[in-house]
């Protein structure tokens, strides 16, 4: 992939110069950056509240099914349309929706682009997608162009061009575009956020995070992901292709876009061996010809994606983050979550430990259990009360919280927790780490999607509105 930043910068500046900045409502600031008028930013913008939020859902596979189940349990939410190119998935969703007592949803999915017809419907407020990665930006753009808010599973975008398009479209249409990063709401990450806010770790200086999950078997299975879309990405894309489970919660802990911002990254990869080795072994062990041929064909391929990627990020205020991606080698699950400040540190994996100066014995770790109850985030306290006895779909409750908070924000006219600027800055690590690692770990600067507004200190929405 060529350096996408320069091309985008070139196009933006050329186009804007041609249009005339003043008439386009833009102002020019030093450092050769064109800025939109402040009031055009979608930061802290409250949507118009409504009685109920009507959702059109696209992509009802592994993750989409969990969201559909959760949305059906959220008060003042209705799924009015569903879209999937696999008929059995829309049939499943229709059955879930009607069994839950709602009217039959409109069904879409006659081809890959049928989501556009769905976005055009009048009876939708939000288009939410859990489709494969390449569709996230196109679906979100179509939703906003049709006047709907957009929510997308991770990652929101795969290119810097798409990141800018999403920002510009959200600003022009005045519609929110939120990437749904469930790990921001995980119980431990929210306890840590609460501890940080209460000054337990002092000034936060360093973080470590990532996505470390042995996905080889799922990636190689013909039924793991529809059309095996995930392994196909590995044939062409290197770098950290899935940064947001780690970087999302870390950005919250480090006040990114709320007084600090990512400045630049450097990235490097190991060679790629894990997928080929397992595919070879599965081909050898196969009992029938069809299975043997399936695995043998994937064993022969070359993967651009190195097995382990390490990306180092420096923030504008000089803080450091290590973000890892490791999904093609045998290993236990981890997100390597570690936050370090001037008064101590915490690590989540392989077990939750803290070291707090003055409280923990010098040079030792201490179990985090004794802090959990004291610092349980109000968002979780509320959820546990509210959902007692309910069957929540997906990842121990965090998926329900992310869905619940987005729906209630749109319903009550509150600013969503994650805005378009957060979503694209976290996603931009994908093309940037690909670019850096393909060019000898060259330093790559983050585009400033906020056009300087990251400097403004403002609270995170989960700190401001803890209970909805
Ligand atoms: N946040 C999490 O913890 C988490 C967990 C799993 C997956 N995910 C994310 O969810 C997304 C989906 O992953 P998955 O595992 O559910 O994949 P999947 O293959 O099981 O589901 C994708 C679904 O999208 C449908 N689809 C594909 N192209 C489409 C199109 N053009 N229009 C309409 N439908 C289309 C497929 O038929 C399929 O049902 C990915 O972004 C993935 O990274 C997130």
Could you list the beta-strand ranges (E) of 77-195: 77-83, 106-108, 126-129, 149-153, 177-180
Query: Three-class SS of residue 128?
Result: strand
Q: What percent of the chain has pLDDT over 70?
A: 91
Report the C-alpha gap between 405 and 428 in whole angstroms.
24
Q: Which atom of ligand 1 lies closest to the CA of 229?
A: 19
> pTM (2 decimals)?
0.92
What contacts 210, CB < 8 A, 6 or more positions away? 240, 243, 245, 246, 322, 323, 324, 325, 326, 334, 335, 336
d(CA 132, CA 153): 9
330-359 pLDDT, tens digit each:
999 999 999 999 999 999 999 999 999 999
Q: Is the confidence at residue 27, as pLDDT, over 80?
A: no
Instruction: Give 333-368 as a DSSP string.
Output: -B---EEEETTEEEE-SSS-EEEETTTSPTT--EET
Which tokens sit at 56? 């059109």
Distance 64 CA to ligand 1 centre (A): 6
Quick one: pLDDT at residue 37?
59
Residue with CA closest to ligand 1 atom 8 = 63
The answer to whether the beta carbons of residues 64 and 57 sit under 8 Å apart is yes
How far is the centre of ligand 1, averaged over its atoms, from the C-alpha of 119 (Å)? 18
User: Residues of the chain with pLDDT > 90: what percent?
Assistant: 87
> Per 3-state DSSP, what percentage of the chain is helix, strand, and coil (rounded to 5)?
40, 20, 40
Beta strands in 176-274 (DSSP E): 177-180, 204-212, 262-269
Residue 305's pLDDT band (cuts 50, 70, 90): very high
Ligand 1 proximal residues by C-beta, below 6 Å: 58-64, 83-86, 89, 109, 112, 115, 130-133, 135, 153-154, 182, 225-226, 395
- Exposed e or buried b per residue across 192-203, where buried means at least 16 C-beta atoms within 10 angstroms of its C-beta: bbbbbeeebbee
Which residue's CA is minimally distant from atom 34 of ligand 1?
84
350 C-alpha vs ligand 1 centroid, how far in Å? 28
CA–centroid distance, 191 to ligand 1, in Å, is 29
What is the best residue among 56, 57, 61, 114 to mutate for testing ligand 1's pocket, by most ligand atoms within 8 Å of CB?
A: 61
3-class DSSP assignment, residue 315: strand
Q: How far is the CA of 75 from the centre of ligand 1 (A)?
A: 25
Ligand 1 midpoint to CA 330 (Å): 24
d(CA 366, CA 256): 29
Say whether pLDDT at 4 is over 70: no
Ligand 1 centre and the CA of 153: distance in Å?
Answer: 8
Residue 418 to residue 425: CA distance in whole angstroms: 11
The pLDDT value given to residue 384: 86
Q: What region, left, alpha or beta, does residue 417 occupy, with left being phi > 0 and alpha being psi -120 to 50 degrees?
A: alpha
Look at residue 467 in the predicted model and tell me its pLDDT. 85
* Owner of token pair 């770990």: 441
For position 388, what pLDDT does the model report? Answer: 80
* Statement: residue 26 has pLDDT above 90: no
Let me know: does 309 contact 324? Beta carbons within 8 Å. Answer: yes
Q: By alpha-carbon position, which residue is closest to atom 40 of ligand 1?
A: 132
Residue nearest to atom 10 of ligand 1 (CA): 130
- Residue 11's contacts (CB-CB under 8 Å, 6 or more residues apart) are none
Q: What is the spatial distance between Cα 337 and Cα 245, in angstroms, rounded to a whole number?
A: 10
Q: What is the mean pLDDT of the chain?
A: 92
Q: What is the mean pLDDT of residues 437-445?
A: 97
403 in Cβ contact with 185 (< 8 Å): no
pLDDT of residue 468: 85
Check pLDDT > 90 for residue 16.
no
Which atom of ligand 1 is the closest one to the Cα of 112?
31
Question: If you average pLDDT over residues 33-57, what whole number do you get?
Answer: 84
Residue of 56, 60, 62, 111 to test ligand 1 pocket, by largest number of atoms within 8 Å of CB: 62
Place of tokens 């062409």: 236
Give the Å distance between the CA of 323 and the centre of ligand 1. Answer: 23
Report the atom number in ligand 1 closest to the C-alpha of 136.
Answer: 41
Band the pLDDT of 397: cuts 50, 70, 90: confident
Q: Please check whether residue 59 is in contact with residue 227, taking contact to mean a CB–CB distance below 8 angstroms.
A: no
Distance 329 CA to ligand 1 centre (A): 22
Of 211, 191, 209, nearest in space to 201 by CA: 191
199 vs 79, 118, 192, CA distance in Å? Answer: 41, 47, 11
383 falls in which pLDDT band (50, 70, 90)?
Answer: confident
Edge to edge, the sheet with strand 262-269 lists 366-367, 353-356, 344-347, 338-341, 204-212, 320-326, 308-315, 262-269, 444-445
Q: What is the pLDDT of residue 385?
A: 86
How far away, in angstroms, is 84 Cα from ligand 1 center?
10
Give counts: helices (H), strands (E), the chain. 18, 17
Checking if the pLDDT of 20 tops 70, the result is no
**What pLDDT was estimated at residue 36?**
56
For the segment 96-113, the average pLDDT, to the nearest whole number, is 98
Answer yes or no: are the C-beta atoms of 148 and 79 closer than 8 Å: no
Place of tokens 């994996």: 349
Name the residue with the closest Cα to ligand 1, atom 18. Answer: 61
In which band, very low, low, confident or very high, does the pLDDT at 394 lie, cut at 50, 70 and 90?
Answer: low
Supply the pLDDT for residue 11: 35
Mutate to test the pocket of ligand 1, among 59, 69, 81, 418 (most ligand atoms within 8 A of CB): 59
pLDDT of residue 58: 98
């Amino acid at each position: 992939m060529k350096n996408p930043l320069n091309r985008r910068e070139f196009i933006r500046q050329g186009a804007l110069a041609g249009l005339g900045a003043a008439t386009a409502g833009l102002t020019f600031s030093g450092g050769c950056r064109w800025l939109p008028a402040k009031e055009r930013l979608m930061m802290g913008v409250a949507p118009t509240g409504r009685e109920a939020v009507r959702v059109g859902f696209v992509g009802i596979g592994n993750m989409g099914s969990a969201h559909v189940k959760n949305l059906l349990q959220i008060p003042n939410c209705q799924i009015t349309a569903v879209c999937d190119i696999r008929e059995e998935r829309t049939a499943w969703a229709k059955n879930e929706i009607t069994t839950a007592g709602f009217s039959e949803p409109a069904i879409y999915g006659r081809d890959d682009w049928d989501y556009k017809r769905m976005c055009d419907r009048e009876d939708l407020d939000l288009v939410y997608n859990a489709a494969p990665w390449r569709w996230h930006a196109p679906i979100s753009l179509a939703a906003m162009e049709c006047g709907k808010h957009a929510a997308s599973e991770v990652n929101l975008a795969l290119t810097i061009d798409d990141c800018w398009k999403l920002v510009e479209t959200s600003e022009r249409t005045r519609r929110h575009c939120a990437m749904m990063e469930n790990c921001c709401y995980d119980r431990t990450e929210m306890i840590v956020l609460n501890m940080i806010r209460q000054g337990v770790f002092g000034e936060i200086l360093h973080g470590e995070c990532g996505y470390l999950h042995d996905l080889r078997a799922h990636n190689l299975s013909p039924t793991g992901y529809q059309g095996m879309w995930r392994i196909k990405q590995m044939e062409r894309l290197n770098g950290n292709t899935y940064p947001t489970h780690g970087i999302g919660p870390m950005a919250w802990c480090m006040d990114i876009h709320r007084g600090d911002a990512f400045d630049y990254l450097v990235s490097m990869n190991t060679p790629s061996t894990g997928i080929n080795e397992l595919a070879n072994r599965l081909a050898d062990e196969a009992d029938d010809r069809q299975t043997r041929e399936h695995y043998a064909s994937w064993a022969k391929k070359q993967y651009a994606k190195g097995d382990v990627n390490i990306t180092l990020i420096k923030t504008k205020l000089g803080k450091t983050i290590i973000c890892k991606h490791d999904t093609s080698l045998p290993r236990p699950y981890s997100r390597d979550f570690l936050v370090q400040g001037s008064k101590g540190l915490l690590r989540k994996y392989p077990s939750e430990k803290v070291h707090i100066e003055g409280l923990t014995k010098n040079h030792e770790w201490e179990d985090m259990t004794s802090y959990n109850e004291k610092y349980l985030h109000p968002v979780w306290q509320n959820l546990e009360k509210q959902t007692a006895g309910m069957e929540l779909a997906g990842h121990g409750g965090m998926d329900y919280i992310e869905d619940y908070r987005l729906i209630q924000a749109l319903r009550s006219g509150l600013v969503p927790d994650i805005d378009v600027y957060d979503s694209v800055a976290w996603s931009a690590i994908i093309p940037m780490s690909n670019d850096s690692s393909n060019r000898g770990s060259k330093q790559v600067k983050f585009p400033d999607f906020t056009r300087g507004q990251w400097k403004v200190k403002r609270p995170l929405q989960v700190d401001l509105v803890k209970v909805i």
